[in-house]
């Protein structure tokens, strides 16, 4: 009888001491909008983030992902966050420059030489500064996920130096910084809807396009191109944004869990992106394309050539933002 009483008391004590661990967590369904599809590495990141939230909240906080723009485009979804009618979105930085012009800094050409540089800047003081700017417009940035570097493919010649861009007809996004970047290098920058790119390359309406390796692979651009150059000319991150109006109603424990688990998801997603890029590059090489990489000296040279683009857009982005990121990169490169 004494043993039974002891066991019952011990069980009751265990339950009473475990319960407070999740007491501050409420049952929540967090809608996360994405413009990409579920098979994108962001999907891997969402799964890892959910597993982390399950552990921290006792399964009370659930992510409900909506893929392929099911809740609207990135800009529309982000505005819904600002209005407090939707919880979260994973979006590229580029569509949001109308909300926070400072985000245009990530469109500047040849800003980061490699992923390690990008991570140090984004996960450091500069990234924190940008996060503060987003908070001022009603958005909580839970972390910088991976969108990846954009690289060049073309059917004309290998690109080993900036002069090789001369006269090349390059499809670019409808983005003023991208247009200025390629025009400055002597290319004929041509805005075009993504769905038209393959046929335009095939018919030689354009000579070249620029996208991450995974996109060059999955869109089969290698079938209508001869050369690929690892230019790393643009790195635009994904932002995991949360509605500040909703976030501020959450308990501190819930907020901390979201921040910590978004970081877990970020690291998984970045790793999957890196692996996919390697696999896609191997497929591109196997298809017979000539692949080269800009040398460090040429990267430096082309970055200096592109400073006129920085100066042109500096006032719009914010001089302190551009100067700050360049100073941080200079310190990293010492």
| Residue 40 confidence (pLDDT) | 87
Residues 87 and 230 in one domain: no
The label of the residue with tokens 């409420």 reads 26
- Greater confidence (173 vs 170) lies with 170
Read off the pLDDT of residues 154-169 as tens digits, 9 standing for 90 and up: 999 999 999 999 999 9
SS3 143: strand
Residues 177 and 269 in one domain: no
296-305 helix and 307-317 helix, angle to the nearest 10 degrees: 50
Q: How far is CA 105 from CA 48, 221, 236, 293, 325, in A?
A: 29, 28, 9, 24, 8
- What is the average pLDDT score of the chain? 92
How many structural domains is the chain composed of?
2
The label of the residue with tokens 């949360």 reads 242
Residue 210 has pLDDT above 90, yes or no: yes
Give a yes or no: residue 81 inside a domain: yes
Residues 210 and 322 in one domain: yes
Looking at 248, 263, 278, the residue that finishes a domain is: 278
Q: Model pTM?
A: 0.87
Read off the pLDDT of residues 257-295 as tens digits, 9 standing for 90 and up: 999 999 999 999 999 999 999 999 999 999 999 999 999
Residue 59 has pLDDT above 80, yes or no: yes
| Residue 21 confidence (pLDDT) | 65
Residues 120 and 155 in one domain: no
Residues 157 and 269 in one domain: no
| Residue 10 confidence (pLDDT) | 45
Read off the pLDDT of residues 214-265 as tens digits, 9 standing for 90 and up: 889 988 999 999 999 999 999 989 999 999 999 999 999 999 999 999 999 9
Cα separation, 42 vs 34, in Å, equals 9
Cα separation, 53 vs 47, in Å, equals 10
Give a yes or no: residue 15 inside a domain: no
Domain interval for residue 308: 151-234+281-333
The pLDDT-based confidence of 73 (bands split at 50, 70, 90) is: confident
| Residue 2 confidence (pLDDT) | 45
Q: 196: which residues sit within 8 A by CB, 6+ positions away?
A: none
Give a yes or no: residue 16 inside a domain: no
Q: Is the dihedral of CA 122, 307, 201, 288 positive or negative?
A: negative
């Amino acid at each position: 009888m004494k043993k039974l009483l002891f066991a019952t008391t011990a069980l009751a004590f265990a339950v009473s001491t475990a319960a407070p661990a999740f007491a501050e967590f409420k049952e929540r369904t967090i809608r996360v909008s994405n413009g990409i599809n579920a098979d994108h590495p962001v999907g891997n990141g969402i799964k890892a983030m959910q597993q982390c939230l399950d552990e921290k909240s006792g399964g009370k906080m659930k992510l409900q992902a909506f893929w392929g723009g099911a809740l609207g485009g990135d800009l529309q979804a982000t505005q819904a966050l600002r209005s407090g009618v939707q919880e979260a979105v994973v979006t590229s930085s580029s569509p949001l420059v109308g909300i926070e012009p400072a985000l245009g800094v990530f469109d500047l050409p040849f800003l980061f030489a490699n992923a390690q540089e990008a991570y140090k800047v984004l996960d450091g003081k500069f990234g924190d500064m940008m996060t503060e700017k987003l908070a001022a417009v009603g958005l909580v940035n839970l972390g910088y996920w991976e969108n990846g570097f954009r690289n060049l493919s073309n059917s004309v010649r290998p690109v080993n130096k900036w002069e090789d861009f001369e006269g090349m007809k390059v499809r670019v996004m409808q983005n003023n910084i991208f247009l200025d970047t390629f025009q400055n290098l002597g290319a004929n920058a041509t805005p075009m809807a993504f769905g038209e790119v393959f046929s335009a390359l095939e018919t030689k309406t354009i000579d070249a396009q620029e996208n991450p390796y995974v996109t060059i692979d999955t869109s089969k651009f290698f079938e209508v191109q001869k050369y690929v150059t690892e230019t790393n000319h643009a790195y635009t991150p994904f932002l995991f944004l949360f509605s500040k109006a909703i976030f501020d109603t959450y308990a501190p424990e819930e907020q901390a869990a979201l921040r910590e688990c978004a970081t877990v998801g970020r690291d998984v997603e970045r790793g999957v992106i890196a692996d996919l890029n390697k696999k896609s590059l191997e497929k591109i090489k196997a298809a017979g394309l000539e692949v080269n990489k800009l040398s460090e000296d040429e990267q430096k040279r082309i970055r200096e050539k592109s400073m006129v683009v920085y100066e042109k857009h500096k006032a719009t982005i914010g001089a302190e933002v551009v100067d700050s990121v360049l100073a941080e990169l200079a310190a990293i490169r010492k």
